[in-house]
Amino acid sequence: MPDTALPATDRLLDALRAIVGASGLLTDPADTAPFSEDWRRLYRGRTPAVVRPGTAEECAAVVRLCAETGTRLVPQGGNTSMVGGAVPAEDGSELVLSTARLNRIRALDPVDMTLTIEAGVTLRAAQLAAADAGCLLPLSISSEGSAQIGGVLAVNAGGNNTVRYGNARDLVLGLEVVLPDGQIWNGLRRLRKDNTGYCLRQLFVGAEGTLGIITAAVLKLVPQPREVAVALCAVPSPEEALALFTRFQAHDPAAISAFEYMSGPGMGFVLKHIPGATLPLSAPAPGYVLVELATPRPDAGLRVGLETVLEGALEAGIVLDAAIAESEAQRAAIWKLREEHSEAQKREGASVKNDVSVPVSKVPAFIAEATAACEALIPGVRVVPFGHMGDGNIHFNLEQPEGAEAAWFLAQDHAIMDAVNEVVRKYDGSFSAEHGIGKLKPYMMPDWRGGAELALMQRIKAALDPLGIMNPGKVLP
């Protein structure tokens, strides 16, 4: 592994230009700046160039050149990482390889129920393509308007529908990957059964670009729902939110497509900062649940089921108040209250994120104990947990105390994460549920995944990327 990266010489830049064309290479600092920092502006790197291949072959030629010259590169999709996973190093030694121009939908088969798609297509564009064919791509995340399929798969994104359909990993049938030596592995099979040795595609899903660059994928589709019902519920606490979840599960577990929890203060930030956001309930509450039911079956009577469960929960005091969406516009307005949580927290000030998971049954205890731990650590800190309660993934986010210095607060991120992770560990949870490891969490890997597991990961990395040129400094310590 070269221990010092080669600077990007004019010769290297000329050779890259020869591969991707003049418009495929950005070198002006004004053009490369947006690719050099993450959307929260927590990680600022520098890069001599952003390379934008238009085909998998161009991408392969770029990687081959990087392998020949020992040049390190950082694959980047929509740059929506929560953990700095797509930001180049500060020393300016790494190229950014943007997948944005790999943006073709190659095929959609409504009988096979598969979508073959390139890495740079945004998740929203992929969802719309599926919908046009009467299908559903059952993956939904807050950043879906900008997040690109390649990045979504590279981090094994989870999102709002994991409770029903699993994570990105569960939707991948095939992949096309540019390997660190510049070969293209064409594994774009669209088979439901294919037992042929090691499952290589799953190696690249979740590897965050450290083992290769995903250039295209075959994704599984499901039938489009014929009926969707959405409600926003006010709840007294996370305990009651969980009790509501078990009531929906008892009623019709197959109907739940999302079950999201939000804290009262977190919702307060959304109402304060997001233009047009209004609460469709009589009063603010200590917590909220967004529940979505969906079914492809005709005449499933979802709406009646939703009302039945909510009436019982209201009578039992589990739910304080509820609003059921009566139109597509109301459904979107309720979802917006949930989806804008990250943006609202960003506008409120500095925040420290903990993307963690525990068994679903332990979510209320986890929230209570992690809240107590953080409040003891930083008096005045504002605890704003929210997220995918139905699958046990809580974004246990902390907002700086009012009036505090952002830099002072952010300097305590490790202490905060350690305090939260202690509670996560108590409940056999994970320190990284859906956002990945990126640049933020490699230091946690020895503690959580040490021994044989981390050693195996390091051997895989060394075998596939012996020069260490693929997304250095991410995932592995």
The residue (of 331 and 336) whose beta carbon lies closer to ligand 2HG is 336
Q: Are 334 and 374 in contact (CB under 8 A)?
A: no
* Phi–psi pair at 140, nearest 5 degrees: -140, 125
Comparing CB distances to ligand 2HG, the nearer of 122 and 142 is 142
Which position among 201, 341, 449, 461 is part of the footprint of ligand 2HG (CB under 6 A)? 341
Closest distance of CB 354 from ligand 2HG, Å? 8
Q: Measured between alpha carbons, how far is 184 from 57 in angstroms, rounded to an integer?
A: 8
Residue 86, phi then psi, degrees to nearest 5: -120, 20
Q: Give CA angle at 428 (426, 433), nearest 5°.
A: 115
- x/- mask, ligand 2HG, residues 228-267, rule CB under 6 A, reads ----------------------------------------
Size of the site for ligand 2HG (CB under 6 A): 8
Determine if 397 is a binding residue for ligand 2HG (CB under 6 A): yes
Comparison of 353 and 461: residue with beta carbon closer to ligand 2HG? 353
Give the x-and-dash track for 347-386 against ligand 2HG (CB under 6 A).
Answer: ------x---------------------------------
Q: Which is closer to ligand 2HG, CB of 138 or CB of 387?
A: 387
Residues 105-144 that bind ligand 2HG (CB under 6 A): 142
Beta 287-295 vs 256-263: how paired, if at all? Answer: antiparallel
- Non-local CB neighbours of 107 within 8 Å, separated by 6+ positions: 114, 115, 116
Are 273 and 346 in contact by the 8 Å Cβ rule? The answer is: no
Query: Which of 385, 380, 445, 440 shows the shortest CA–CA distance to 414?
Result: 440
DSSP code at position 136: E
Among 24, 387, 392, 473, binds ligand 2HG (CB under 6 A): 387
Quote the least distance from Cβ 393 to ligand 2HG, whole Å: 8
Q: How are strands ordered across the β-sheet holding 72-76?
A: 25-26, 50-51, 94-98, 72-76
Residue with tokens 């009589």: 282
State which residue, 263 or 342, has the beta carbon closest to ligand 2HG.
342
Please pick, from the candidates 32, 161, 210, 342, the single residue that binds ligand 2HG as defined by CB under 6 A.
Answer: 342
- Tokens 């700046």 sit at which residue? 33
441 binds ligand 2HG (CB under 6 A): no
β-partners of residue 116 are: 107, 218
Restricting to residues 301-340, which ones interact with ligand 2HG according to CB under 6 A?
A: none
Interface ranges with ligand 2HG (CB under 6 A):
82, 142, 341-342, 353, 387, 395, 397
